[in-house]
């Protein structure tokens, strides 16, 4: 088991490994009542062991269930969670445990941020994406009909539990999509160890073996922790480097009406970003091609599914992205791998990058 500390005030740990669930007991000992927010498909295999750890902590438990998908990540769900928490007698000094992926963490985390003006929360991550990214850093939010994650709050957890045995029940496509974010960390300058692991045996992570996953998940979580601690409120731009590959990814998700899962879209977005950086002569051809090697090696798509959108349509969507400042902004590597935001690259470089991921103008 490994501990990654998020060096904020107060600091907290991301505990990674088989058996990390045991961490729930010390984290919640002394709390009178705990509300566990989860989903049916996750509760079935994993609620029992969570309840055992909470019983050992001496807490009374209420279980609150939300719907299975992104469409349930909304203010209506938050309102219902807060009402059910009130009905169960949850008070300011009590705690919330989210047991799930990014949807449960974002929705339950936001409810915890606003209920009684903020109650303590612990995230038990059950997807690869949540273990390395969504559960770390305190960003919580829900969607409005007008857009994704438009209402939210920063609310740092007491701790994050990444018990790798919980990944066994995750549907294959969700697991693979999580590897899209692993590819992002592998291609970051701090990702040398992850990169080496993947290049040595790209299919090593397919079996979801906790022993093989542990160093990789802990290394990814450590990068997130370091970036988050350097820019906790997303003000300096440092945290934006975690959006490597995401500019095109968000446009692909919208254009394809979410046919591509987030991590799959990030995978293609990374290949695009590599080619864009290559066309701008920021990186060597070998560094550019490493993007395709890592993404393809992990069994993820390296090109846009045919018929998704034209380059003009994707450019239009990218200009309207909520993180855009009106123009086009890409997080791109330079020769030493450092990621920086690049505004409005020339059309010829964009064309070359689009062609490389199979999109014609």
Ligand X SMILES: NC(=O)c1ccc[n+]([C@@H]2O[C@H](COP(=O)([O-])OP(=O)(O)OC[C@H]3O[C@@H](n4cnc5c(N)ncnc54)[C@H](O)[C@@H]3O)[C@@H](O)[C@H]2O)c1
Query: Where on the chain is the footprint of ligand X (CB under 6 A)?
Result: 39, 41-42, 68-70, 73, 100-104, 106, 126-127, 129-130, 133-134, 137, 139, 149, 166-167, 169-170, 174, 262
Q: Which residue has the tokens 């989860």?
A: 38
Nearer to ligand X, 70 or 293 (CB): 70
**Other beta carbons within 10 Å of 308:** 20
Is residue 227 within 8 A of residue 241, CB to CB? The reply is yes
Minimum CB separation from ligand X for residue 152, in Å? 8
Nearer to ligand X, 126 or 247 (CB): 126
Nearer to ligand X, 97 or 359 (CB): 97
Beta bridge partners of 4: 14
Minimum CB separation from ligand X for residue 208, in Å? 10
Minimum CB separation from ligand X for residue 137, in Å? 6
Minimum CB separation from ligand X for residue 318, in Å? 18
Alpha carbon distance 222, 261 (integer Å): 24
For 4-19, give the DSSP string: EEE-SSS-EEEEESTT
φ, ψ of residue 159 to 5 degrees: the values are -175, 165
What tokens appear for 246 in the block? Answer: 């995401």
Minimum CB separation from ligand X for residue 39, in Å? 4
Alpha carbon distance 333, 335 (integer Å): 7
- 233: helix, strand or coil: coil
Minimum CB separation from ligand X for residue 52, in Å? 17
For 46-59, give the DSSP string: HHHHHHHHHHHTT-
Nearer to ligand X, 102 or 345 (CB): 102
Minimum CB separation from ligand X for residue 360, in Å? 30
Is residue 21 within 8 A of residue 163, CB to CB? The reply is yes
Nearer to ligand X, 134 or 186 (CB): 134
With residue 318 as reference, give the H or E element that holds it. Answer: helix 311-319
Nearer to ligand X, 94 or 133 (CB): 133
Nearer to ligand X, 33 or 181 (CB): 181
For 330-348, give the DSSP string: EEEE-TT--EEEEES--HH
Alpha carbon distance 103, 130 (integer Å): 9
Closest chain position to ligand X (CB): 102
């Amino acid at each position: 088991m490994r501990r990654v500390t998020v060096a904020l005030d107060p600091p907290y740990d991301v505990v990674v490994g088989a058996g990390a669930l045991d961490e729930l007991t010390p984290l919640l000992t002394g709390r009178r009542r705990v509300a566990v927010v989860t989903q049916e498909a996750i509760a079935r295999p994993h609620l029992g062991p969570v309840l055992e750890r909470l019983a050992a902590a001496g807490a009374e438990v209420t279980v609150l269930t939300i719907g299975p998908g992104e469409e349930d990540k909304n203010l209506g769900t938050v309102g219902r969670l807060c009402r059910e928490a009130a009905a169960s007698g949850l008070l300011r000094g009590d705690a919330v445990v989210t047991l799930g992926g990014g949807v449960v963490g974002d929705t339950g985390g936001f409810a915890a941020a606003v209920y009684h003006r903020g109650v303590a929360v612990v995230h038990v991550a059950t997807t690869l994406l949540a273990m390395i990214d969504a559960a770390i850093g305190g960003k919580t939010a829900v969607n409005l009909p007008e857009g994704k994650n438009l209402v939210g709050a920063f609310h740092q957890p007491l701790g994050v539990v990444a018990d790798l045995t919980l990944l066994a029940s995750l549907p294959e496509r969700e697991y693979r999509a999580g590897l899209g974010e692993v590819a992002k960390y592998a291609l970051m300058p701090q990702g040398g160890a992850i990169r080496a692991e993947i290049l040595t045996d790209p299919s090593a992570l397919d079996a979801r073996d906790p022993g093989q996953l542990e160093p990789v998940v802990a290394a990814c979580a450590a990068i997130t922790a370091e970036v988050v601690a350097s820019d906790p409120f997303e003000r300096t731009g440092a945290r934006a480097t975690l959006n490597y590959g995401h500019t095109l990814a968000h446009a692909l998700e919208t254009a394809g009406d979410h046919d591509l899962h987030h991590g799959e879209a990030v995978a293609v977005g990374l290949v695009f970003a590599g080619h864009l950086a290559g066309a701008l002569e920021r990186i060597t051809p070998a560094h550019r091609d490493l993007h395709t090697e890592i993404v393809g090696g992990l069994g993820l798509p390296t090109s846009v599914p045919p018929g998704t959108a034209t380059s003009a349509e994707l450019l239009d969507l990218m200009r309207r992205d909520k993180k855009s400042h009106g123009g086009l902004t890409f997080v791109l590597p330079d020769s030493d791998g450092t990621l920086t935001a690049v505004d409005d690259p020339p059309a010829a470089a964009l064309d070359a990058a689009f062609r490389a991921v199979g999109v014609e103008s």
